[in-house]
Homo-oligomer: A and B are copies of this chain.
Amino acid sequence: MLSTMQDVPLLISRILTHGSTIHGTSQVTTWTGEAEPHRRSFADIGARAAQLSHALREELGVADDERVATLMWNNAEHVEAYFAIPAMGAVLHTLNLRLPAEQLAWIVNHAADRVVIANGSLLPLLAPLLPHLKTVEHVVVSGPGDRSLLADASARVHEYEELIGGRPTTYDWPELDERRAAAMCYTSGTTGDPKGVVYSHRSIYLHSMQVNMTESMGLTDQDTSLVVVPQFHVNAWGLPHATFMTGVNMLMPDRFLQPAPLAEMIEGERPTHAAAVPTIWQGLLAELTARPRDVSSLGQVTIGGSACPPALMEAFDALGMRVCHAWGMTETSPLGTVARPPAHAVDTPEEFAYRLTQGRFPASVEARLTGPGGERIPWDGESAGELEVRGPWIAGAYYNGPGTEPLRPADKFSEDGWLKTGDVGTISRDGFLTLTDRAKDVIKSGGEWISSVDLENALMAHPDVAEAAVVAVPDDKWGERPLATVVLKEGSTTDFAALRAFLAAEGGIAKWQLPERWTLIEGVPKTSVGKFDKKKIREAHSLGKLDVTTLN
């Protein structure tokens, strides 16, 4: 029996129309490095998005389902592209400008992008890449930057403002199937070729609703969100689409991602919310310690991308900026969990422990844990397994190029269609996820698992340790054992034996889990999105490039 409800698809054009009319006075403010930032209303963004769609279709001949790439910072024009491209029926393809050049070229060629919209400030990156981009015919340049870098380009070069100027400010958005592709993002995996995740109108629409639910970010049109997380990184955690649903103002840092300008824009524009990875917050905290600013507006700070060290959370709490942990990945749109403590823990000593978890799953994300042998692991808060998730904004496959069937590698997707996240952790009875490791970073020692992350956190709690990464290395007796690589703070005089004693005495690490192997490094290598790149450490170790001390 069918319902008598209207059959209305969930489309990005609907979010745009809503945001640019009912929330037309809400604003996107873009940092320019000048005295005054640039301000554009949602109404103007709606009108300009329509102009961009007209230009793409009528001038550049962009067809339905065609991928249109963006190589841009977080700014108002990038928001326009976020709506114009999917609303007209094409596919927004955000390029991660931090990837190595060869990987970027591979991705553009794989997606067969014909049009790239690029910020002028990124032409030094794009220009040398262009000869390797086989399918690119048009480059649309927005914002300041040296155009002469494109003098020899074989692609046609357009000025963004000239291209869209004078075109109609409304567009008769097509009524699409909500399961159609709307946007895509390649994962910057540390192994193999990058993998494309293709979001649908439906997945982005539902995800936007979830972002606006109380248990997630829960913002209103009285809020301004400082969107530090890049728009080229999992759709800026869904914020540009979600804010148009509820009129939340956005503050966009453009290329000014250094701690000093970030502190300046917080003081000057008084955002109430911010979203970024821990690395950014570490830097900001150091900046604020060195040069205090008024950051009191910033009540809520969403941290994701990797676990937030307890010390960082405490430091931000002390500044009145309440950190809220979230977990997700490119394959999960990304909202997977948000660490809002349950009612019974609020204002109790338990609260901080709940906030340190990755958080609780929303109704639309189903979760299960799978053990090393494929068995189901109970939600008891103690037993660890690989996290698998299911839901309407969770990937079930990867893009395999134009006109091909999607890829479903068995190490990424279960037979019944769940995403294998590659993250290892526990889930409590009340549904709070605590990740302990990437599946590939778990140390398998004598048939037991040792968490590299637990060891790292315990090490980083030592006052002399700036950073620490722990990886598994081969061991004749145990199979694998932990290798602790440590960055000491300047002027520190501690030694490995003292650190190991600290792990046991203060860190709560069991004796059999304590590392024997130790090495000093100058800095932990990072991936393009700022995560510890343990693959590099393992490689350096296997090549004998690390000076390892073994304690008895």
Contact = CB atoms under 8 A, between A and B. Distances in A.
B1 A198 contact: yes
A205 B306 CA distance: 31
A59 interface: no
Nearest to A246: B215
Contact of A4 (B340, B364, B395): B395
Contacts of A391: 6, 8
A393 B3 CA distance: 10
Per assembly, the copies of the chain total: 2
A237 interface: no
Contacts of A312: none
A199 interface: yes
Nearest to A212: B213
A4 B247 contact: no
Interface of A: 1-8, 10, 14-15, 17-19, 21-26, 65, 91, 179-182, 196-200, 202-203, 206, 208-210, 212-215, 218-222, 244-247, 340, 342-344, 346, 360-364, 366, 379, 390-399, 406, 417, 419, 429-431
A313 B8 CA distance: 35
B221 A4 contact: no
Q: Which of A182, A208, A212, A396 is the most central at the interface, judged by chain B CB atoms within 10 Å of its CB?
A: A212
B209 A213 contact: yes
Closest 9 CB pairs of A and B: A3-B200, A22-B431, A6-B396, A1-B65, A18-B363, A1-B181, A4-B397, A4-B198, A5-B203
Contacts of A202: 3, 5
Contacts of A6: 390-392, 394-396, 417, 419
A352 B495 CA distance: 66
A409 to B, nearest CB: 12
Given A4-B395, A5-B393, A245-B363, 9 more contacts: A1-B180, A2-B179, A2-B180, A2-B200, A3-B202, A6-B394, A10-B364, A26-B343, A214-B220
Nearest to A14: B363
A218 B215 contact: no
A214 B202 CA distance: 20
A6 B197 CA distance: 11
A215 B212 contact: yes
Contacts of A362: 18, 245
B220 A340 contact: yes
Nearest to A3: B200
A390 to B, nearest CB: 6
Contacts of A346: 222
A180 to B, nearest CB: 7
A316 B200 CA distance: 45
A43 to B, nearest CB: 10
A17 B361 CA distance: 12
Contacts of A246: 213-215, 363
Contact of A1 (B91, B342, B366): B91
Contacts of A429: 24
A361 B22 contact: yes
A377 B212 CA distance: 31
19 contacts: A1-B198, A2-B180, A2-B181, A2-B200, A3-B198, A3-B199, A4-B197, A5-B393, A6-B394, A7-B179, A8-B364, A10-B392, A14-B364, A18-B363, A26-B343, A212-B215, A214-B214, A215-B220, A245-B363
Nearest to A223: B343
A364 to B, nearest CB: 7
